[in-house]
Amino acid sequence: MGNWNTYKKKGFFALLSAFLLVSLLGPAPSYAAEANTEVPKVIEKTSPSVVAIIGKPSDSDKSLEKNRFNLAHGTGVIVESNGVIVTNAHVVKGMRNIVVVTSNGTTYNGRATNIDEESDLALVKIDATGLSPATFASSSDIKVGETVAAIGTPISFALRNSVTVGIVSGLDRSVSSQYQLIQTDAAINPGNSGGALINMKGEVIGINTMKYAEIGVENLGFAIPVDTVKYVLKHFQLYGKVKRPYLGLELEESWEAVVGLPSSTGLRVAYVDPDSPAASAGIQQDDFFVSIGTSKVKTLVDYNEAIKHYLPGEKVDIAIQSGSSPVTKSVTLGEVKQQETKWKQDAEGTYLDADRGKTKIGDSHFGWSMKYPAGLVKGRQSDDGDAVSFIDAKGEFSLSISIESKLSDELSPTALLNRLASDNEDNYSGTSSATILERQYVKRDSNPFGKIVSRSGDRGYVQTRGYLHQGKLYKVQLFVTKEHYNNNFKQNSYNDLLDSFKLSFNEKDGSLRDISVFSNGNTTYTNEYGLSFALPSSWQQGGYTGGSSFFNDDYTQAIHVRATSASSGDTLAAWAERQTKQFEALYAPKYRTVDEPKEITLAGVPALQVGYADTLGNKWNAGYSLFFIKDKYKYEVEVSYPRDDKGKELDELLETLTSTIKVDKDSMDQELGYIQDLDELMDPDRTITYKNEKYKYAVHVPENWTSANSYDNKDQANKIFSFTGGDLTIGADTKSSYEDAIKKEEAAQKKSHDNDSEYVYTSSDVTLFDDIKAKKFDISYDKAKVPYKETVYIFVRNQITYHVSLSIDEAVRTEANENRLIKAFESLTFLK
């Protein structure tokens, strides 16, 4: 991770951490009083054009516990009097329930209307009139060394419209941005993002975007220049987005450019998309860019600055160095595809505080409730909701509630108090014993409880209360730091909170927030490819190579999900046909069935449903595979279950799954690239060589066969190379003689036949590999639950006794499968 901090983690606690880091950086430089006499007038003129922005952070930030104090904030600049505000894209992307506060304290609900991540700029709209729009400078007027001021909302929302003063430290900087930036030493801190960098005329010269945050580094901030801001705003106004030209190639900077030296070689073409404008114009890999139009380009920032002067559909002359020859190519530009902006709002409405009006909190499933002070923050909660923790926003106390089942209501007061004291000491005493300050059984007509108050060394004080109710122990523990516990006023508030705990939950009480997570319904799963669907909450998730698996509680039903990239020219029908043929190749015809593909719709696109069934000879498995292609990815959802499973429960499962399948591009991992579908490359006859140096043999087996240690360098005495319904096993023994090995095998075969007359075997003497004497055992067991045939060879080579077994189930005994097994055995060679 680099050092460029754009403050994309914007929650309450992330900002607190950022504050601790920034506070180590030291104060901003002082300026002579005479140099700053104009600053107050400039700020008075400009500050009304700067607003503070606050909202709920993106759902994608999984590190933040969702509560009323998890808020993100930044700054914005008014560009139109009717409530159009420019800010950073990273401030409002994914932000929900946006609230804008002007310099005079007026509050408005807002929404992000346009977002452009490439430039890190966005627009927010509020319903207002008569606002004071900012005046924008011209980039050509910006001078290094001139005095500037940054206006924003650093660290805390309570510090909105704070001002810091500095100078322009540098221009045309290219750091962590698609475009050039202004460097300034005016203090820019978390929350300043999206605010104004102004000159001493009160004109905006840039939009603050980032700072360099590292201990020992001071006053290194950056702003987006006003000409880039104007460029983006113009596109927002004309097109609703930034229309970026598309060439269809990847460019690579020289080593000099990467480290910041002047580059003499320019940009190398690392890749050209075959169907792109660049390819049509004849630009090739390893060409070097010289200029775009009249603009010289030697860095990626140079390239982006030059190309932004053109629109998709326009022609541009690109000068390149191809080998030793300078060439000019005329390119008709395409257009970069972009995602649409989505305005997000919580289900609760536009309130910034989702718990607005909630004065109590509780769990409807476990049947408890208590008061909900404004400073109480819900922390971790168990999957079933039988344990939950809370902290105080000011850090004064923590509270936990846990429920233990399978206890008796007949537990005596003495036993209850002893239990609470023991739990209290285990949880909070650490290495030293807790000192009990109070212990009593509090008798009440309803809900009597045991109470333990103890001091835990220097850590603080713990009060534990235990309630017995309907075979459960409800344990409430409050931990208070030492400095706050001895404050009588605060003690009263703590006791009031504990006294409010009740073993009841009033579902009709609108002021009561329900935090129950217990569910007998469905759970929605979303993977990194944006695929989501719902399954019964009783199902559990597993994993396998290339995807995810889900199982019901007894593992008889399963769902496997796989996502890969769609290759150029591939179609839904061709893909489903390939998968069907692979399945059919696994089994002999009488051991499998495949239905004709059924056309359906999933995730809003055409899909194919292919039903199937297979067996190895005992029980039949059934299921179907769902195939669909969306946003350049192929999604396969395979459902499997015993063929005898029928009825309402299975029908409901299939209906729930198919009706809830969705693909959301915004939920995709942004770092995803091309994911090759390995089935497209699979050759079932391609082999790999395994060598066993210790036991002096080598064998060629199909690449798609598996074994726990088949292809490593460990020389094990027994190796099993397996495939669906069969295997090749090679055993090697340096101690047993050929005769002893045969006697042992004959005894084992005879015992199996004596135990079950349907188990049939014959033995014969054969010659292998032209000159090796061997004993061969042919086994068939047609009446087994899974009928199979097996051939065993015993022979000696290089004073090593080999025991080789070829086994294949009747269900997979196709000509192709059997030939691969025989071919693998015949490939066996012996090392010297």
Bridge partners for 208 per DSSP:
223
Spell out the residues 6+ positions from residue 687 whose beta carbon is closer than 8 angstroms to its own. 700, 701, 702, 703, 824, 827
DSSP 97-142: EEEEE-TT--EEEEEEEEEETTTTEEEEEES--S--PPEE--GGG-
Q: How long, in residues, is the chain?
A: 832
* Rg for the chain, CA atoms, rounded: 36
CA–chain centroid gap for 546, Å, is: 15
- The residues, any chain, with a CB within 8 Å of residue 261's CB and separated by 6 or more, are none
Q: Which amino acid is at 178?
A: Q
Answer yes or no: 386 catalytic: no
708: left (phi over 0), alpha (psi -120 to 50) or beta: alpha
193 flagged as catalytic = yes
Q: What is the DSSP string of 139-185?
A: GGG--TT-EEEEEE--SSGGGTTEEEEEEEEEEEE-SSSSS-EEEE-
CA distance 306 to 594: 57
Q: Which residue among the candidates 162, 169, 177, 193 is catalytic per the annotation?
A: 193
Q: Is 670 exposed, middle or buried (0-12, 13-18, 19+ CB in 10 A)?
A: exposed
Q: Which of 120, 363, 386, 423 is catalytic?
A: 120
**Nearest residue to 691 via CA among 710, 669, 678:** 710
Catalytic residue from among 73, 90, 235, 560 = 90
Report DSSP letters for 545-592, one per residue.
TTEEEEE-TTSSSEEEEEEEEPPTT--HHHHHHHHHHHHHHHS-GGGE
Token pair of 54, please? 């606050």
Query: 809, 617 in Cβ contact below 8 A?
Result: yes
Residue 251 to residue 643: CA distance in whole angstroms: 55
Residues serving a catalytic function are 90, 120, 193
